[in-house]
Structure 1
Protein backbone atom coordinates (compact mmCIF):
# COMPACT_ATOMS: atom_id res chain seq x y z
CA UNK A 1 0.00 0.00 0.00
CA UNK A 2 1.47 3.33 -1.04
CA UNK A 3 0.95 6.70 0.65
CA UNK A 4 -1.85 7.71 -1.71
CA UNK A 5 -3.78 4.54 -0.92
CA UNK A 6 -3.07 4.68 2.81
CA UNK A 7 -4.39 8.24 3.02
CA UNK A 8 -7.61 7.24 1.30
CA UNK A 9 -8.11 4.11 3.36
CA UNK A 10 -7.82 6.31 6.44
CA UNK A 11 -10.49 8.59 4.96
CA UNK A 12 -12.71 5.59 4.23
CA UNK A 13 -12.51 4.56 7.88
CA UNK A 14 -13.46 8.05 9.08
CA UNK A 15 -16.44 8.12 6.71
CA UNK A 16 -17.50 4.66 7.84
CA UNK A 17 -17.31 5.63 11.50
CA UNK A 18 -19.22 8.87 10.88
CA UNK A 19 -21.99 6.98 9.11
CA UNK A 20 -22.16 4.33 11.83
CA UNK A 21 -22.32 6.89 14.63
CA UNK A 22 -25.20 8.70 12.90
CA UNK A 23 -27.04 5.62 11.71
CA UNK A 24 -30.39 6.81 13.08
CA UNK A 25 -30.42 9.75 10.66
CA UNK A 26 -30.10 7.83 7.39
CA UNK A 27 -31.13 4.24 8.14
CA UNK A 28 -34.66 4.88 6.89
CA UNK A 29 -33.44 5.75 3.40
CA UNK A 30 -33.06 2.55 1.39
CA UNK A 31 -30.71 4.06 -1.19
CA UNK A 32 -28.27 5.17 1.50
CA UNK A 33 -28.49 1.80 3.26
CA UNK A 34 -27.61 0.07 -0.01
CA UNK A 35 -24.73 2.44 -0.73
CA UNK A 36 -23.39 2.10 2.82
CA UNK A 37 -23.56 -1.70 2.59
CA UNK A 38 -21.59 -1.59 -0.65
CA UNK A 39 -19.11 0.82 0.93
CA UNK A 40 -18.58 -1.50 3.92
CA UNK A 41 -18.01 -4.37 1.51
CA UNK A 42 -15.33 -2.40 -0.33
CA UNK A 43 -13.54 -1.66 2.93
CA UNK A 44 -13.62 -5.34 3.90
CA UNK A 45 -12.16 -6.26 0.51
CA UNK A 46 -9.43 -3.65 0.98
CA UNK A 47 -8.59 -5.11 4.39
CA UNK A 48 -8.38 -8.62 2.95
CA UNK A 49 -6.03 -7.49 0.18
CA UNK A 50 -3.95 -5.45 2.62
CA UNK A 51 -3.50 -8.55 4.78
CA UNK A 52 -1.99 -10.34 1.77
CA UNK A 53 0.28 -7.38 1.02
CA UNK A 54 1.56 -7.25 4.58
CA UNK A 55 2.01 -11.00 4.96
CA UNK A 56 5.61 -11.86 5.80
CA UNK A 57 6.74 -14.16 3.00
CA UNK A 58 10.11 -14.80 4.60
CA UNK A 59 8.55 -17.73 6.43
CA UNK A 60 8.07 -19.54 3.12
CA UNK A 61 11.79 -19.28 2.37
CA UNK A 62 12.66 -20.59 5.84
CA UNK A 63 10.26 -23.50 5.43
CA UNK A 64 11.89 -24.31 2.10
CA UNK A 65 15.37 -24.37 3.68
CA UNK A 66 14.16 -26.59 6.52
CA UNK A 67 12.42 -28.98 4.11
CA UNK A 68 15.54 -29.22 1.96
CA UNK A 69 17.77 -29.96 4.95
CA UNK A 70 15.48 -32.72 6.23
CA UNK A 71 15.34 -34.28 2.75
CA UNK A 72 19.12 -34.14 2.34
CA UNK A 73 19.81 -35.66 5.74
CA UNK A 74 17.61 -38.70 5.15
CA UNK A 75 18.88 -39.05 1.58
CA UNK A 76 22.48 -39.19 2.85
CA UNK A 77 21.48 -41.78 5.43
CA UNK A 78 19.85 -44.02 2.81
CA UNK A 79 22.59 -43.44 0.22
CA UNK A 80 25.33 -44.37 2.68
CA UNK A 81 23.65 -47.62 3.61
CA UNK A 82 22.87 -48.56 0.02
CA UNK A 83 26.49 -47.76 -0.90
CA UNK A 84 27.73 -50.07 1.85
CA UNK A 85 25.47 -52.82 0.55
CA UNK A 86 26.62 -52.21 -3.04
CA UNK A 87 30.31 -52.42 -2.10
CA UNK A 88 29.71 -55.66 -0.19
CA UNK A 89 27.85 -57.01 -3.22
CA UNK A 90 30.54 -55.91 -5.71
CA UNK A 91 28.00 -53.66 -7.44
CA UNK A 92 30.35 -50.83 -8.39
CA UNK A 93 27.81 -48.99 -10.52
CA UNK A 94 25.36 -48.76 -7.61
CA UNK A 95 28.14 -47.91 -5.18
CA UNK A 96 29.29 -45.02 -7.35
CA UNK A 97 25.73 -43.77 -7.80
CA UNK A 98 25.27 -43.72 -4.02
CA UNK A 99 28.61 -42.00 -3.38
CA UNK A 100 27.09 -38.63 -2.49
CA UNK A 101 28.53 -35.97 -0.19
CA UNK A 102 26.55 -33.36 1.77
CA UNK A 103 28.29 -30.55 -0.12
CA UNK A 104 27.33 -32.10 -3.45
CA UNK A 105 23.65 -32.13 -2.59
CA UNK A 106 23.68 -28.64 -1.10
CA UNK A 107 25.25 -27.04 -4.16
CA UNK A 108 22.57 -28.36 -6.52
CA UNK A 109 19.84 -26.01 -7.69
CA UNK A 110 16.34 -26.47 -6.31
CA UNK A 111 14.85 -28.90 -8.81
CA UNK A 112 18.11 -30.82 -9.31
CA UNK A 113 18.61 -31.64 -5.63
CA UNK A 114 15.10 -33.11 -5.49
CA UNK A 115 15.82 -35.25 -8.56
CA UNK A 116 19.08 -36.47 -7.03
CA UNK A 117 17.32 -37.44 -3.81
CA UNK A 118 14.58 -39.13 -5.82
CA UNK A 119 17.25 -41.16 -7.60
CA UNK A 120 18.58 -42.42 -4.27
CA UNK A 121 15.06 -43.32 -3.19
CA UNK A 122 14.34 -45.21 -6.40
CA UNK A 123 17.66 -47.08 -6.33
CA UNK A 124 17.05 -48.14 -2.74
CA UNK A 125 13.52 -49.24 -3.60
CA UNK A 126 14.88 -51.50 -6.33
CA UNK A 127 17.19 -53.20 -3.81
CA UNK A 128 14.80 -53.10 -0.86
CA UNK A 129 14.64 -56.86 -0.34
CA UNK A 130 18.42 -56.97 0.07
CA UNK A 131 18.65 -54.03 2.48
CA UNK A 132 17.01 -55.62 5.52
CA UNK A 133 20.31 -55.87 7.32
CA UNK A 134 21.25 -52.28 6.49
CA UNK A 135 18.43 -50.56 8.38
CA UNK A 136 16.67 -49.54 5.17
CA UNK A 137 13.04 -50.63 5.01
CA UNK A 138 9.80 -49.59 3.34
CA UNK A 139 8.92 -47.21 6.17
CA UNK A 140 12.19 -45.31 5.79
CA UNK A 141 11.77 -45.03 2.03
CA UNK A 142 8.18 -43.87 2.48
CA UNK A 143 9.47 -41.20 4.85
CA UNK A 144 12.09 -40.14 2.31
CA UNK A 145 9.48 -39.88 -0.45
CA UNK A 146 7.31 -37.74 1.82
CA UNK A 147 10.26 -35.40 2.46
CA UNK A 148 10.99 -35.15 -1.27
CA UNK A 149 7.35 -34.37 -2.04
CA UNK A 150 7.21 -31.88 0.82
CA UNK A 151 10.33 -30.13 -0.42
CA UNK A 152 8.95 -29.85 -3.94
CA UNK A 153 5.81 -28.25 -2.52
CA UNK A 154 7.86 -25.81 -0.43
CA UNK A 155 10.08 -25.08 -3.41
CA UNK A 156 7.25 -23.27 -5.19
CA UNK A 157 5.74 -21.63 -2.08
CA UNK A 158 7.95 -18.48 -2.04
CA UNK A 159 7.21 -17.78 -5.71
CA UNK A 160 3.49 -18.37 -5.18
CA UNK A 161 3.58 -15.96 -2.22
CA UNK A 162 5.38 -13.30 -4.29
CA UNK A 163 2.83 -13.70 -7.08
CA UNK A 164 0.02 -13.35 -4.55
CA UNK A 165 1.53 -10.15 -3.20
CA UNK A 166 1.97 -8.75 -6.72
CA UNK A 167 -1.66 -9.53 -7.55
CA UNK A 168 -2.78 -7.98 -4.27
CA UNK A 169 -0.92 -4.77 -5.10
CA UNK A 170 -2.74 -4.50 -8.42
CA UNK A 171 -6.08 -5.32 -6.79
CA UNK A 172 -5.50 -2.72 -4.08
CA UNK A 173 -5.22 0.05 -6.67
CA UNK A 174 -8.46 -1.04 -8.34
CA UNK A 175 -10.33 -1.32 -5.05
CA UNK A 176 -9.27 2.14 -3.90
CA UNK A 177 -10.42 3.56 -7.24
CA UNK A 178 -13.73 1.69 -7.05
CA UNK A 179 -14.36 2.85 -3.48
CA UNK A 180 -13.62 6.46 -4.37
CA UNK A 181 -16.05 6.21 -7.28
CA UNK A 182 -18.70 4.75 -4.98
CA UNK A 183 -18.32 7.73 -2.65
CA UNK A 184 -18.26 10.30 -5.46
CA UNK A 185 -21.15 8.92 -7.48
CA UNK A 186 -23.43 7.31 -4.88
CA UNK A 187 -22.77 8.38 -1.31
CA UNK A 188 -21.91 12.05 -1.81
CA UNK A 189 -25.00 12.87 -3.91
CA UNK A 190 -27.24 11.15 -1.35
CA UNK A 191 -25.70 13.15 1.49
CA UNK A 192 -26.34 16.51 -0.16
CA UNK A 193 -29.95 16.65 1.01
CA UNK A 194 -28.84 16.64 4.65
CA UNK A 195 -27.17 20.04 4.18
CA UNK A 196 -30.59 21.52 4.99
CA UNK A 197 -32.33 18.88 7.12
CA UNK A 198 -29.34 17.68 9.19
CA UNK A 199 -26.62 20.34 8.86
CA UNK A 200 -24.50 19.01 11.75
CA UNK A 201 -24.44 15.51 10.29
CA UNK A 202 -23.74 16.90 6.82
CA UNK A 203 -20.77 18.88 8.14
CA UNK A 204 -19.43 15.77 9.90
CA UNK A 205 -19.74 13.81 6.68
CA UNK A 206 -18.04 16.43 4.51
CA UNK A 207 -15.25 16.77 7.08
CA UNK A 208 -14.82 12.99 7.06
CA UNK A 209 -14.45 13.07 3.29
CA UNK A 210 -11.35 15.25 3.48
CA UNK A 211 -8.27 13.25 2.61
CA UNK A 212 -5.57 13.91 5.20
CA UNK A 213 -1.97 13.24 4.28
CA UNK A 214 -0.82 11.05 7.17
CA UNK A 215 2.60 12.65 6.84
CA UNK A 216 1.01 15.99 7.68
CA UNK A 217 -1.51 18.35 6.11
CA UNK A 218 -4.29 17.52 3.72
CA UNK A 219 -4.45 16.85 0.03
CA UNK A 220 -7.19 17.65 -2.46
CA UNK A 221 -9.44 14.83 -3.50
CA UNK A 222 -9.03 14.07 -7.22
CA UNK A 223 -12.10 14.49 -9.41
CA UNK A 224 -14.35 11.46 -9.79
CA UNK A 225 -13.39 9.04 -12.56
CA UNK A 226 -15.01 9.58 -15.91
CA UNK A 227 -17.85 7.03 -16.24
Structure 2
Protein backbone atom coordinates (compact mmCIF):
# COMPACT_ATOMS: atom_id res chain seq x y z
CA UNK A 1 0.00 0.00 0.00
CA UNK A 2 1.34 3.41 -0.96
CA UNK A 3 1.72 6.29 1.48
CA UNK A 4 -1.16 8.26 -0.12
CA UNK A 5 -3.35 5.16 0.23
CA UNK A 6 -2.34 4.83 3.90
CA UNK A 7 -3.33 8.45 4.47
CA UNK A 8 -6.61 7.97 2.65
CA UNK A 9 -7.43 4.80 4.60
CA UNK A 10 -6.88 6.75 7.83
CA UNK A 11 -9.46 9.26 6.56
CA UNK A 12 -11.92 6.45 5.77
CA UNK A 13 -11.52 5.05 9.28
CA UNK A 14 -12.11 8.51 10.77
CA UNK A 15 -15.31 8.93 8.74
CA UNK A 16 -16.59 5.51 9.83
CA UNK A 17 -15.88 6.43 13.47
CA UNK A 18 -17.85 9.69 13.17
CA UNK A 19 -20.81 7.79 11.72
CA UNK A 20 -20.75 5.33 14.62
CA UNK A 21 -20.43 8.15 17.13
CA UNK A 22 -23.52 9.88 15.70
CA UNK A 23 -25.46 6.69 14.99
CA UNK A 24 -28.72 8.20 16.25
CA UNK A 25 -28.41 11.01 13.71
CA UNK A 26 -27.49 8.62 10.90
CA UNK A 27 -30.55 6.52 11.71
CA UNK A 28 -32.83 9.51 11.03
CA UNK A 29 -32.51 8.70 7.33
CA UNK A 30 -33.06 5.02 6.57
CA UNK A 31 -31.10 5.07 3.32
CA UNK A 32 -28.19 6.71 5.14
CA UNK A 33 -28.05 3.72 7.51
CA UNK A 34 -27.93 1.39 4.51
CA UNK A 35 -25.17 3.48 2.94
CA UNK A 36 -23.22 3.33 6.21
CA UNK A 37 -23.38 -0.48 6.13
CA UNK A 38 -22.26 -0.54 2.49
CA UNK A 39 -19.31 1.72 3.35
CA UNK A 40 -18.32 -0.53 6.27
CA UNK A 41 -18.34 -3.54 3.92
CA UNK A 42 -16.16 -1.67 1.41
CA UNK A 43 -13.80 -0.62 4.19
CA UNK A 44 -13.42 -4.21 5.38
CA UNK A 45 -12.61 -5.31 1.81
CA UNK A 46 -9.81 -2.75 1.74
CA UNK A 47 -8.48 -3.96 5.09
CA UNK A 48 -8.63 -7.63 4.03
CA UNK A 49 -6.91 -6.99 0.69
CA UNK A 50 -4.22 -4.99 2.44
CA UNK A 51 -3.61 -7.74 5.02
CA UNK A 52 -3.56 -10.48 2.40
CA UNK A 53 -1.06 -8.65 0.21
CA UNK A 54 1.35 -7.95 3.08
CA UNK A 55 1.12 -11.41 4.66
CA UNK A 56 1.52 -13.27 1.36
CA UNK A 57 4.60 -11.27 0.39
CA UNK A 58 6.22 -11.64 3.81
CA UNK A 59 5.42 -15.34 4.14
CA UNK A 60 6.73 -16.37 0.72
CA UNK A 61 9.91 -14.32 1.10
CA UNK A 62 10.61 -15.81 4.52
CA UNK A 63 9.96 -19.35 3.23
CA UNK A 64 12.40 -18.88 0.35
CA UNK A 65 15.14 -17.50 2.58
CA UNK A 66 14.79 -20.40 5.02
CA UNK A 67 14.95 -22.97 2.21
CA UNK A 68 17.97 -21.21 0.72
CA UNK A 69 19.80 -21.18 4.06
CA UNK A 70 19.18 -24.89 4.65
CA UNK A 71 20.29 -25.77 1.11
CA UNK A 72 23.51 -23.76 1.29
CA UNK A 73 24.42 -25.24 4.67
CA UNK A 74 24.19 -28.83 3.41
CA UNK A 75 25.73 -28.07 0.01
CA UNK A 76 28.81 -26.59 1.68
CA UNK A 77 29.15 -29.68 3.87
CA UNK A 78 29.03 -32.00 0.86
CA UNK A 79 31.39 -29.77 -1.14
CA UNK A 80 33.91 -29.83 1.72
CA UNK A 81 33.81 -33.62 1.83
CA UNK A 82 34.17 -33.82 -1.93
CA UNK A 83 37.10 -31.38 -1.82
CA UNK A 84 38.86 -33.37 0.90
CA UNK A 85 38.49 -36.54 -1.15
CA UNK A 86 39.78 -34.79 -4.30
CA UNK A 87 42.77 -33.38 -2.42
CA UNK A 88 43.72 -36.75 -0.96
CA UNK A 89 43.41 -38.52 -4.31
CA UNK A 90 45.08 -35.78 -6.34
CA UNK A 91 42.05 -35.11 -8.53
CA UNK A 92 42.73 -31.47 -9.43
CA UNK A 93 39.69 -31.06 -11.66
CA UNK A 94 37.37 -32.29 -8.92
CA UNK A 95 39.22 -30.22 -6.34
CA UNK A 96 38.61 -27.04 -8.35
CA UNK A 97 34.94 -27.90 -8.76
CA UNK A 98 34.52 -28.54 -5.04
CA UNK A 99 36.19 -25.25 -4.11
CA UNK A 100 32.87 -23.59 -3.26
CA UNK A 101 32.53 -20.94 -0.59
CA UNK A 102 29.53 -19.38 1.11
CA UNK A 103 30.27 -16.13 -0.71
CA UNK A 104 29.71 -17.96 -4.03
CA UNK A 105 26.15 -18.69 -2.96
CA UNK A 106 25.65 -15.15 -1.66
CA UNK A 107 26.63 -13.66 -5.02
CA UNK A 108 24.48 -16.08 -7.01
CA UNK A 109 20.93 -15.42 -8.13
CA UNK A 110 18.11 -17.66 -6.95
CA UNK A 111 18.46 -20.17 -9.79
CA UNK A 112 22.25 -19.91 -9.58
CA UNK A 113 22.18 -21.19 -6.00
CA UNK A 114 20.27 -24.27 -7.13
CA UNK A 115 22.67 -24.76 -10.06
CA UNK A 116 25.75 -24.74 -7.81
CA UNK A 117 24.14 -27.16 -5.37
CA UNK A 118 23.03 -29.46 -8.20
CA UNK A 119 26.58 -29.64 -9.60
CA UNK A 120 27.93 -30.54 -6.16
CA UNK A 121 25.25 -33.21 -5.77
CA UNK A 122 25.89 -34.72 -9.21
CA UNK A 123 29.65 -35.03 -8.79
CA UNK A 124 29.31 -36.32 -5.22
CA UNK A 125 26.83 -38.94 -6.35
CA UNK A 126 29.49 -40.27 -8.73
CA UNK A 127 31.84 -40.77 -5.74
CA UNK A 128 29.27 -41.71 -3.12
CA UNK A 129 30.95 -45.05 -2.37
CA UNK A 130 34.17 -43.17 -1.55
CA UNK A 131 32.66 -40.32 0.46
CA UNK A 132 31.26 -42.28 3.41
CA UNK A 133 34.63 -41.97 5.15
CA UNK A 134 34.28 -38.19 4.79
CA UNK A 135 30.85 -38.03 6.43
CA UNK A 136 28.75 -38.02 3.26
CA UNK A 137 26.51 -41.05 2.70
CA UNK A 138 23.73 -41.75 0.22
CA UNK A 139 21.25 -40.52 2.83
CA UNK A 140 23.06 -37.18 2.98
CA UNK A 141 22.98 -36.84 -0.80
CA UNK A 142 19.29 -37.76 -0.85
CA UNK A 143 18.70 -35.02 1.70
CA UNK A 144 20.61 -32.56 -0.47
CA UNK A 145 18.49 -33.52 -3.46
CA UNK A 146 15.34 -32.91 -1.41
CA UNK A 147 16.57 -29.51 -0.30
CA UNK A 148 17.33 -28.52 -3.88
CA UNK A 149 13.79 -29.49 -4.90
CA UNK A 150 12.27 -27.67 -1.92
CA UNK A 151 14.23 -24.55 -2.72
CA UNK A 152 13.18 -24.57 -6.37
CA UNK A 153 9.57 -24.96 -5.24
CA UNK A 154 9.81 -21.87 -3.03
CA UNK A 155 11.19 -19.90 -5.98
CA UNK A 156 8.19 -20.95 -8.09
CA UNK A 157 5.81 -20.06 -5.28
CA UNK A 158 7.49 -16.71 -4.80
CA UNK A 159 7.10 -15.89 -8.49
CA UNK A 160 3.44 -16.87 -8.27
CA UNK A 161 3.14 -14.79 -5.11
CA UNK A 162 4.59 -11.75 -6.87
CA UNK A 163 2.01 -12.12 -9.63
CA UNK A 164 -0.67 -12.44 -6.97
CA UNK A 165 0.65 -9.34 -5.25
CA UNK A 166 0.45 -7.36 -8.49
CA UNK A 167 -3.17 -8.45 -8.89
CA UNK A 168 -3.93 -7.55 -5.26
CA UNK A 169 -2.34 -4.13 -5.70
CA UNK A 170 -4.58 -3.47 -8.70
CA UNK A 171 -7.62 -4.69 -6.77
CA UNK A 172 -6.72 -2.43 -3.86
CA UNK A 173 -6.44 0.60 -6.15
CA UNK A 174 -9.89 -0.19 -7.54
CA UNK A 175 -11.35 -0.43 -4.03
CA UNK A 176 -9.98 3.03 -3.21
CA UNK A 177 -11.63 4.42 -6.35
CA UNK A 178 -14.92 2.85 -5.25
CA UNK A 179 -14.59 4.25 -1.73
CA UNK A 180 -13.81 7.77 -2.98
CA UNK A 181 -16.80 7.69 -5.30
CA UNK A 182 -19.07 6.32 -2.56
CA UNK A 183 -18.09 9.11 -0.17
CA UNK A 184 -18.76 11.84 -2.73
CA UNK A 185 -21.98 10.47 -4.19
CA UNK A 186 -23.54 8.97 -1.04
CA UNK A 187 -22.18 9.84 2.40
CA UNK A 188 -21.26 13.48 1.73
CA UNK A 189 -24.77 14.16 0.46
CA UNK A 190 -26.43 12.47 3.41
CA UNK A 191 -24.29 14.53 5.78
CA UNK A 192 -25.51 17.65 3.98
CA UNK A 193 -29.12 16.49 4.29
CA UNK A 194 -28.74 16.12 8.07
CA UNK A 195 -26.96 19.43 8.65
CA UNK A 196 -30.10 21.10 10.01
CA UNK A 197 -30.83 18.14 12.29
CA UNK A 198 -27.33 17.92 13.81
CA UNK A 199 -24.83 20.62 12.95
CA UNK A 200 -22.18 19.10 15.25
CA UNK A 201 -22.35 15.85 13.25
CA UNK A 202 -22.07 17.79 10.00
CA UNK A 203 -18.95 19.64 11.15
CA UNK A 204 -17.28 16.51 12.56
CA UNK A 205 -18.06 14.53 9.43
CA UNK A 206 -16.41 17.00 7.06
CA UNK A 207 -13.50 17.53 9.45
CA UNK A 208 -12.90 13.76 9.24
CA UNK A 209 -13.07 13.93 5.43
CA UNK A 210 -9.79 15.86 5.30
CA UNK A 211 -6.87 13.68 4.19
CA UNK A 212 -3.86 14.28 6.41
CA UNK A 213 -0.31 13.44 5.33
CA UNK A 214 0.80 11.33 8.30
CA UNK A 215 4.24 10.68 6.83
CA UNK A 216 5.60 14.20 7.05
CA UNK A 217 6.94 16.08 10.00
CA UNK A 218 7.33 19.81 9.72
CA UNK A 219 10.09 21.60 11.61
CA UNK A 220 9.75 25.34 12.19
CA UNK A 221 12.37 27.21 10.25
CA UNK A 222 14.96 29.02 12.33
CA UNK A 223 14.90 32.77 11.82
CA UNK A 224 17.59 34.00 9.52
CA UNK A 225 20.08 36.14 11.41
CA UNK A 226 20.53 39.53 9.85
CA UNK A 227 23.66 41.59 10.08
CA UNK A 228 23.30 45.30 10.89
CA UNK A 229 23.77 47.34 7.79
CA UNK A 230 26.40 50.02 8.14
CA UNK A 231 25.47 53.35 6.64
CA UNK A 232 27.16 53.98 3.35
CA UNK A 233 30.16 56.21 3.57
CA UNK A 234 29.92 59.01 1.03
CA UNK A 235 33.26 60.65 0.30
CA UNK A 236 33.30 64.38 0.84
CA UNK A 237 34.55 66.21 -2.23
CA UNK A 238 36.07 69.60 -1.41
CA UNK A 239 34.73 72.52 -3.42
CA UNK A 240 36.78 73.61 -6.37
CA UNK A 241 39.19 76.46 -5.67
CA UNK A 242 38.27 79.75 -7.30
CA UNK A 243 40.43 80.70 -10.25
CA UNK A 244 43.43 82.84 -9.44
CA UNK A 245 43.19 86.28 -11.04
Contact (CA 8 Å) 2:82, 2:95: kept in 1 or not?
no
Cross-structure match for 2:35: 35
Aligned pair count reads 212
Partner residue in 2 for 1:219: none
Partner Cα distance (2:26, 2:106) in 1:
66
Q: Which of structures 1 and 2 has the bigger CA Rg? A: 2
| Higher helix fraction (1 or 2) | 1
CA–CA separation in structure 1 for the residues paired with 2:184 and 2:105: 60
2:174 corresponding residue in structure 1: 174
Deviation at 1:163, TM superposition (A): 5.8
2:210 matched to which residue of 1? 211
Taking the TM superposition and a 5 Å limit, the aligned residue runs for 1:30-69 are: 31-51=31-51, 67-69=67-69
User: Structure 2, unaligned stretches of length 5 or more?
Assistant: 217-245
Mapped partners of 2:142, 2:158: distance in 1: 26
Please state if 1:124 is matched with 2:101: no
Residues 46 and 101 from structure 1, CA distance in 2 versus in 1: closer, same or farther, beyond 3 angstroms? same
Once the two structures are superposed, the pairs formed by residues 183-202 of structure 1 within 5 Å of their partners are 183-196=183-196, 198-200=197-199, 202=201
**What is the TM-score of this pair, normalised by structure 2?**
0.61
CA change 1:87–1:180 in 2 (3 A) is closer
* Kept in 2: contact 1:42–1:179 (CA 8 A): yes
1:52–1:164 CA contact under 8 A, matched in 2 = no
Distance 2:19 2:105 in 1: 61
**After alignment, is 78-87 or 41-50 more displaced?**
78-87
Residue aligning to 1:12: 12
SS of equivalent to 1:211: coil
Q: Displacement, 1:36? A: 1.6
Q: Which string of whole-angstrom CA distances, capped at 9 and with x for unpartnered residues, describes residues 153-175 of structure 1? A: 55567766766665555444322
2:98 alignment partner in structure 1: 99
Question: 1:203, CA displacement in angstroms?
Answer: 1.8
Determine the structure 1 residue equivalent to 2:133. 133
